[in-house]
Amino acid sequence: MKLPGWITTATAAVAAAVLPACDGINLKELKPGVSTAAEVRSRLGNPAYEHRNDDGSVTWEYNRQPNGVECHMITIGPDQIVSKIEQALNEANLARVQEGMGKEAVRRLLGKPGTVTTFSNLGEEVWDWRVAGLTPAEEAHFHVHFALADGRVKKTSRRVEGKG
The CATH number for 133's domain is 3.30.1450.10
Identity at 29, one-letter amino acid code: E
Instruction: Give how many domains the chain has, as a whole number.
Output: 1
**Lowest mean pLDDT: which of 124-128, 133-137, 157-161?**
133-137
Residue 129 lies inside a defined structural domain of this protein: yes
Q: Does 18 have pLDDT greater than 50?
A: no
Strands (E), the chain: 49-52, 58-63, 71-76, 82-87, 115-119, 124-131, 138-147, 153-162
Residue 106 lies inside a defined structural domain of this protein: yes
Residue 150 lies inside a defined structural domain of this protein: yes
**Lowest mean pLDDT: which of 21-35, 102-116, 124-138?**
21-35
Separation CA 48–CA 41 (nearest Å): 11
Query: What pLDDT shows up at residue 21?
Result: 44
Separation CA 13–CA 109 (nearest Å): 29
The boundaries of the domain holding residue 114 are: 91-162
Residue 32 lies inside a defined structural domain of this protein: no
**pLDDT (mean) for 137-151:** 95
Residue 2 lies inside a defined structural domain of this protein: no
Residue 62 lies inside a defined structural domain of this protein: no
Burial of 145 (0-12, 13-18, 19+ CB in 10 A): middle
Residue 117 lies inside a defined structural domain of this protein: yes
Residue 136 lies inside a defined structural domain of this protein: yes
